[in-house]
Structure 1
Amino acid sequence: MMDSEPDVKKRRSDSKGGVSSSDSDRWTPELAEVHEKFRSTLKSKFQHLNEGVPNQGESRLLQKIYTELFLTKGGGGVNEEHESNSCSLKELNLSFNELHDAGVQHLSELLKNPHCKLEKELDLSNNELHDAGVQHLSELLKNPHCKLECIPLLMEDHHNGAPQRSCESCAEVPDSSHWVLVKPEVSTEESVSTYSLSSPAGSYECAESGLRWTCAGPVTLQYRFTDWHVFAEELAHMQLGPAGPLMDIKLMSGELEEIHLPHFLCLGGSEASVCDAVRVLHGRESGVCVEVCEMTRHHARLLHPSFSLFGLVHYLSDLLFPKVHCELLLFCTCITPLELHTYLVPNDPAHIQAIHKKEVEKRGVWIDKPGAVGSLWLKDTFCVRTLCPSCPSEIQPKKNLNLWPPSTSKFFEVCMKQPEEEFDMEVISSQHTEPIWTVTIRRRDYCQPSRSPGQGSSQGTNTERLFQVRPGLISGVSSGVLRSMLDRLQVHRPPVLSSREAGEVLQRNQVLQDQVSCLVDMVHRKGDTACRIMLVLLEELDPHLYGELHL
């Protein structure tokens, strides 16, 4: 249990090395020996912590970071060694730790301490938090001593997460940062996905779309993405262009104080003129109307909104070709020969998800590389090239592609017969003299290394592993294993599948192979964590098939 604030202040004022006089009386040699043994056990058991460092998967020794969160020797003070340590911890991953609401309450109190050096992100995903725990985190983010920018809470689907926001052009444009990042529950019916979100009082951001909201009490809302084509005539008549996703938002219960709609415009260098040109479009049965809004770096803010089809637009007469934030997406569709699909699109979560859906349906595997390319002019064209002297690539189409309008069929296909162990890929824009995106692609990024029977488990991400064994699962999973798998994926905490999704698998088709195919694809779309859980359950439910697939 954490000490109350008055006790903590008293101990600090009485101590020079982090232990008060009252603590010193209790700090016997025997107790010190037990404490040191306990600390050593923790250190050996949890030798590395994932901090979310730029090189994904890199970890740091616990010895190098444990002092940053006040693991102190003795009663509760911060000793001189800890206070003098000047380095800061940027991100800390505490997912899958079964903290629950009580643990989060204690952690929140710790992070309110002005000496705490955790500055950017605390990942608490998959910790079974309820409203009480989320409320503690919301209050934490409002605390003036808290330096955190976001707190991911639920099961992560990395490639569909909140957009990466790296743009030097608009870095000075103000944007609020204290938002609790939450993952919605997703249900799909007739290929249309509906996202459901519930929250207690606080400020929140949806990890799928970037949609933000603030509320003074509990709320439940739903939304789905809609294609701008439904308003094609209205946009042409009013001389408007899309500036973000079109979203059909419904408030199911409670009241919202504010809603912040995402946009992909870059406000850098021309903030005033861009803001003057942007409006919120409301679509109703009676027609469409536009409303003035308050712009921030990545959102448009509306107070006490009335809900309908929502989307941000800009007047073409004032802003014909604005600068927009862009994202690059890379997929592998074949390993031998290597075939890659490369997309460059405005950072519109609806369009990005449409691309992922199309590629998954065609058995494409997303390659996890930094995607943010900053901002480009909407009139830009671009091309792709590879740097691999020993294996030239064939790239189609051979001409530049236009950035606008976006389309799921607008991409470069890169084909290489026998690429080297690693090679570089670049994207070149017509408006820039230097490449706007450069990355090294290694063999392990798109395939598993060859492995003889009896060797250890396959390498690569779990999404890749599940994709590689998809044919074997479709032909090898029995009806009993399928039903057990569906049950276990629903009762897992947090659930991987909803009961509705499980029913969709069974009701879609009476052919077993089609049901298994539907399940595999459904889990694959949910990301790496969901795929890992399914593979673990397969090993438990059908170890023979698991062995045959060399997992």
Structure 2
Amino acid sequence: MMKDSSDWTKLEPEVNSTDEDEASTYSLKSEAGNFECSVSGLRWVCQEKVSFKYQFCSSEEPMKRMEMMKYMPADITVISGKLFEVYLPHWIFIDDIPEILQKFAVLHIDDCGDVVEKVSEVTSSHVKLSEPVFSPRTALMKMGIPVKIRCNVLIYSKAYASCTVLHVYLIPLDPALKETMDKNKKDFKLIQSHVASITTTKERLLKMLEDLGQEEFNKFKWFLRDSDVLAGLPCIPCSRLENSDILNLVDLMSQTYSQKSLEVTKNIFQKINRNDLVQQ
């Protein structure tokens, strides 16, 4: 069973940086017990004294290959060492996701290529690996379901004689990305870092469609074949709509209309007399 957050002893890593253009290395040492890195949120369980290090690195090329397998990145941590259990952090809200173990995986990268491994446990903040063999690792999540993600709101400031300039960024709760932002904004001062959450277009679309009755849902799909209602946007073929449920329809609309999916949905809601849902 996954331990409560109070069961983990937080340790501050030793940070080594030899070049501004290279990622910093974080070194940690611990006795036997349960520990958490205060920088990355990485957790580990060891039965004896251990020493290991990790660093954030780019996973652009592996992620291109993972997208072809219908996975998307949720978080990335790269470490080396021998530990009994490791818990990789992620930034996905999982409360409304069924069969959660089937949705997450871990990317293992070595000289032989990429291997996607199943995880043994998923909690609101971490995925668990038992007796891991280390290499660059990324927590992955299956594509095709709308999700809400935890984010950092970063506010940087720089004072000039005539004014103060603020730069505001909304980024996933990914310490690797924050480290990059801090380096890019080294001439600015970080004045606030706030954890927030955002709702994806697909999740908003799902919430809206869930309020429809079955007859209304059938009418909604019928209007997706009406070129007049779609105002120049492509119709979705009848063969693809006929047996689609709500989740399938969210995917179809997202693929067909992208960011205009919400606009299309609200137009059709007006057609089926569900103006009460237009404000969602």
Q: Deviations over 1:243-294 (max 9, x none)?
A: 112x32111xxx4111000000101222x34442110111111111111111
Counterpart of 1:185? 14
Structure 2 counterpart of 1:283, from 102, 106, 109: 109
Determine the C-alpha separation between the residues in 2 that align with 1:262 and 1:217: 23
Superposed CA offset, 1:127-170 (max 9, x none)? xxxxxxxxxxxxxxxxxxxxxxxxxxxxxxxxxxxxxxxxxxxx
- Whether the 8 Å CA contact 1:203–1:214 is kept in 2: the answer is yes
Measured in 2, the distance between the counterparts of 1:204 and 1:375 equals 29
Give the one of 303, 322, 338 matched to 2:130: 303
What is the match of residue 36 of structure 2? 205
Match of 1:340 in 2: 166
CA distance in 1, matches of 2:107, 2:201: 20
TM-score by length of 2: 0.66
Shift of 1:315: 1.7
Listed as ranges, the matches of 1:196-275 within 5 Å are 196-245=27-76, 247-251=77-81, 255-270=82-97, 272-275=98-101
Distance 2:58 2:202 in 1: 21
Aligned positions of 1:80-99 closer than 5 A: none
The answer on 1:376 being equivalent to 2:234 is no
For the Cα contact (< 8 Å) 1:266–1:375, is it kept in 2?
Answer: no
Separation in 1, partners of 2:131, 2:140: 20
- Corresponding residue for 1:366? 190
Q: Using the alignment, how far apart are the partners of 1:353 and 1:379 within structure 2?
A: 29
Unaligned runs of 5+ in 1: 1-172, 382-432, 435-551
- Partner SS state of residue 357, structure 1: helix
Distance 2:166 2:136 in 1: 36
Matched, 1:351 2:177: yes
Deviations 1:280-329 (A, max 9, x none): 11111111111111101100011111101111111214x3x421111100
CA distance in 1 between partners of 2:5 and 2:114 (Å): 30
C-alpha displacement at 1:174, in angstroms?
A: 8.3
Letter of the 1:328 counterpart: V
Q: 1:509-528: per-residue Cα shift (whole Å, max 9, x none)?
A: xxxxxxxxxxxxxxxxxxxx
- SS of 1:305's equivalent? coil
Structure 1 residue 178 displacement after superposition: 0.9
Which has the larger Rg?
1
- Using the alignment, how far apart are the partners of 1:380 and 1:196 within structure 2? 39
Alignment root-mean-square deviation, CA:
2.4
Cα shift at 1:202:
0.8
SS of the residue corresponding to residue 96 of structure 2 reads coil
Q: Is the 8 A contact 1:225 1:248 kept in 2?
A: yes
Larger RCO (alpha carbons 8 Å, 6+ apart):
2
C-alpha distance in 2 between matches for 1:180 and 1:357 = 28
Q: Secondary structure at the match of 1:368?
A: strand
Aligned length: 201
Q: Does structure 2 conserve the Cα–Cα contact (< 8 Å) formed by 1:214 and 1:258?
A: yes
Match of 1:316 in 2: 143
Letter in 2 for 1:373: A
Question: In structure 2, do the counterparts of structure 1 residues 180 and 378 end up closer, same or farther at CA, with 3 Å as the change threshold?
Answer: farther
CA contact (8 A) 2:14 2:27 kept: yes
Q: 1:176 to 1:332 in 2, by over 3 A?
A: closer
SS at match of 2:63: helix
Q: 1:264 is aligned with what amino acid?
A: W
Query: Helix, strand or coil for the counterpart of 2:134?
Result: coil
Which secondary structure state, in structure 2, belongs to the residue aligned with residue 261 of structure 1?
strand
Counterpart code for 2:156: F
1:330 matched to 2:149? The reply is: no
Compare the two structures and name the one with the higher strand fraction. Answer: 2
Asked if the contact 1:326/1:376 (under 8 Å) is kept, the reply is no
**How far is the alpha carbon of 1:337 from its aligned partner?**
1.5
Q: CA separation in 2, counterparts of 1:274 and 1:378?
A: 21
Amino acid at match of 1:267: I
1:299 and 1:207, CA in 2 relative to 1: closer, same or farther beyond 3 A?
same
